[in-house]
Structure 1
Amino acid sequence: MSIFEALKTIDPKKAEYFKFKFPDLRYDQSKPLKTEDDFLRLVERKTINPFLKWEKSPEYKNLIQLYLDTKIADDYKEIYQVVAKNAKSGDEKAIRLFLTLQVDIQKNSKTAAKSFEDDNEAEVVEDDGLVLD
């Protein structure tokens, strides 16, 4: 499950708070960031205290894990680009690391491909014979 899917399953005000805390999750990055007052008006609250309390919950901690997973993917891409550049210039350590990264990437891509296959199988709906005109 991605962070975006998880945010759809929780209370919308909590989801807005999470996006307020981690603005890189917002869909429209061209809009200016919300201030705390803007956020409180949006969720119709007077204080941020209930959200601070929620930050101690297992639900919030699980969301943090999913969020960090997306950040790791971005970091992995940046590291790969640096290592690939250094490997191409002949750096022996970079070449070894590049080959190790290649093996990891291939394993991870197989796992990712399987998750898409599982999603596609779940989407198959049996025909109930109902015809709409």
Structure 2
Amino acid sequence: QCSNCIQIAGNFNEINDKFEPITAFLHELNFNYKLKNSLQLGQVLHIFLLGVKEEYKNQKIASTLVENNLRIAKLKNFSLAITEASGLISQHIFRKLGFREEVNLFYDSYTFKGEKIFSSISDSASCILMSHSIL
């Protein structure tokens, strides 16, 4: 048994099946970005999943988390940060911190295995891959 390994509770295959449409969606978004941009291993900070518990919102926690990550990335000589901003709030936060919109994928037109599975998402029109130059 590995002492540094993460134990996953429950049935991982069931969890994996539920995330398959999400990972496919994000893969397509990233693929579209990489068609025009190259990413260098060890040079890119990928901010994945930014969230704050409801009772702590409006306290600049998300902005502070991103700012601190950008600061650490700069110390580590990273040159770029990217993120997939999936909702209006995260899109606003990243724009405010200087992230640029690169590629978007619209929820209402995305199909997974022939179904428009994200068409019910109404608070944001699209997920946006955004980037920020660090150096």
Q: Please give the range of the TM-score, normalised by the shorter of the 2 chains.
A: under 0.3
Q: Which structure is higher in strand share?
A: 2
TM-score, normalization by structure 2: 0.22
Q: Which has the higher contact order (CA 8 A, sep 6+)?
A: 2
Q: Which structure is higher in helix share?
A: 1
